[in-house]
Amino acid sequence: MISPRASTLLFFGDTVQNETVDRWCAGGKKQPVGQAEIWPVLAAKRTWRNLLAHARVLWFLDNESAREALVKSYSPVDASREILWMVAKEEAVTPTLSWFARVPTLSNPADDPSRLEFGPLLKAGAVAALADQPSLRELLQAGG
């Protein structure tokens, strides 16, 4: 994350809990790509809540369906809708003026940390943050 409110470049990269991925794959889904693309937005909103509050935020996504889901705050896929509901709750508590931009994977500054490749960012002086990921319980509560 690059912000005038932060004294340095910040990033996180983490694996999603197995129980959460299992929930995303319920019903036989094999590759929960959409959920994996939306999830970091939720984690970022939670991790940097204070830095993002009332800020203009440019989100880079390299997946068009995830971008559209975040713009609409809707997806026909139950698992994505649960995450979007949690994103909306975060937005209600800590509002931002967000713009979701589609960028090619190689142009996405979040691509390396999403693949747990931190070397280039650390070399550039960035500071790693611990991602605030929702628990499975929170996800289940969001799903009703």
Which pair of tokens denotes residue 26? 């319920």
Which pLDDT belongs to residue 143? 67
Which pLDDT belongs to residue 86? 95
Which pLDDT belongs to residue 135? 83
Residue holding tokens 């940390």?
113
Report yes or no on 119 lying in a domain: yes
Q: What is the dihedral of CA 115, 119, 120, 122, to 10 degrees?
A: 120
Report yes or no on 2 lying in a domain: no
> Structurally, how many domains does the chain consist of?
1
Task: Render pLDDT for 9-30 as a digit per residue (tens, 0 to 9).
Answer: 999 999 999 999 999 998 888 8
Range of the structural domain that residue 96 is part of: 10-143
Is the pLDDT assigned to residue 144 strictly greater than 60? no
Q: What is the CATH number of the domain that holds 67?
A: 3.30.420
Please give the share of the chain, as a percent, with pLDDT higher than 70.
Answer: 99
Contact by Cβ (8 Å): 67, 61: yes
Contact by Cβ (8 Å): 28, 71: no
Residue 73 gets which letter from DSSP?
T
Which pLDDT belongs to residue 93? 94
Task: Render pLDDT for 35-94 as a digit per residue (tens, 0 to 9).
Answer: 999 999 999 999 999 999 999 999 999 999 999 999 999 999 999 999 999 999 999 999
Reduce the DSSP state of residue 56 to 3 states and report it. Answer: strand
Task: Render pLDDT for 81-128 as a digit per residue (tens, 0 to 9).
Answer: 999 999 999 999 999 999 999 999 888 888 999 999 999 999 999 999
Report yes or no on 101 lying in a domain: yes
Distance CA 96, CA 55 (A): 5
Report yes or no on 94 lying in a domain: yes
**97-102 vs 127-128, strand pairing mode:** unpaired
**Burial class for 133, CB neighbours closer than 10 Å (0-12, 13-18, 19+):** buried
pTM beyond 0.85, yes or no: yes
